[in-house]
Amino acid sequence: MEAALGGPSYPAELTVTSPERIARWRPFVHWLLAIPHLIVLYALNILSQVVAVISWFVILFTGKLPANLAGVQAMCLRYSERVSAYTSVLLEGYPPFSFETTEPDPRDYPGVMANFEPELDDRNRLTTFFRLILAIPHFIALAVLGLVAGIALLVGLIAIVILGRWPDGLQHFVVGVMRWSLRVMAYTTLLTDEYPPFSLEA
């Protein structure tokens, strides 16, 4: 039996499907196994920031977001969510080193699906110009939620070692914070002009 947490309601959608049982040894080694992905993710985060700056100027001057820039940004954000889910021991399967620059999830990593519907035309230049300022309330909320999620993650990993599974409520909360963060990242990296909801839910 598996629990799917997520669903579409925003142009950035995250669904995490966790197995009911997780091997008790995994919290001890996932962080080590993830090191190659963390190195790649570090480079992709730099790429994402560069693409966001380029997108900012392009949208301000043209009112459009080129599809190739949107695809690269979607790939970077998707890779980040996959690595986060794995290092959080929300699933067991090892993430692929996948760099598909498609907005829909290529579905090559069972357990994590991150879909995007970027806005390419008729972009709002005004909200684009002030994007980081507009996102400040979300940054504050996520800073607080991130601390709570860190505690929830620690408790969840202890539960896996003892019980062999995630407590449902804690798992739902951690995935909810990941989902909220993904929406904010999609907004701040200019994939969409739609303001993210203040919600952990899909």
| Choice among 18-22, 40-44, 63-67, 181-185 with the minimum mean pLDDT | 18-22
Per-domain residue ranges for the chain?
Answer: 2-188
Residue 144 has pLDDT above 60, yes or no: yes
Provide the pLDDT for residue 6.
44
Write out the two tokens for 128.
């684009």
| Choice among 4-8, 79-83, 110-114, 151-155 with the minimum mean pLDDT | 4-8
List the one residue out of 105, 115, 81 whose CA is nearest residue 95: 81
* Block residue for tokens 């890779």: 79
More confident residue, 183 or 8: 183
What average pLDDT does this structure show over 80-100?
95
Provide the pLDDT for residue 7.
43
Provide the pLDDT for residue 187.
97
Greatest CA separation for the chain: 56
Q: pLDDT tens digits, residue range 126-142?
A: 999 999 999 999 999 99
Residue 69 has pLDDT above 60, yes or no: yes
* Average pLDDT value for the chain: 93
What average pLDDT does this structure show over 72-99?
96
Give the pTM: 0.92
Give Cα 67 to chain centroid, integer Å: 20
Cα–Cα dist 33/17, whole Å = 20
Provide the pLDDT for residue 9.
78
Would you place residue 5 in the very low, low, confident or very high pLDDT band (cuts 50, 70, 90)? very low
Provide the pLDDT for residue 148.
97
DSSP-derived letter for residue 124 is -
Residue 8 has pLDDT above 60, yes or no: no
* Block residue for tokens 């919290």: 27
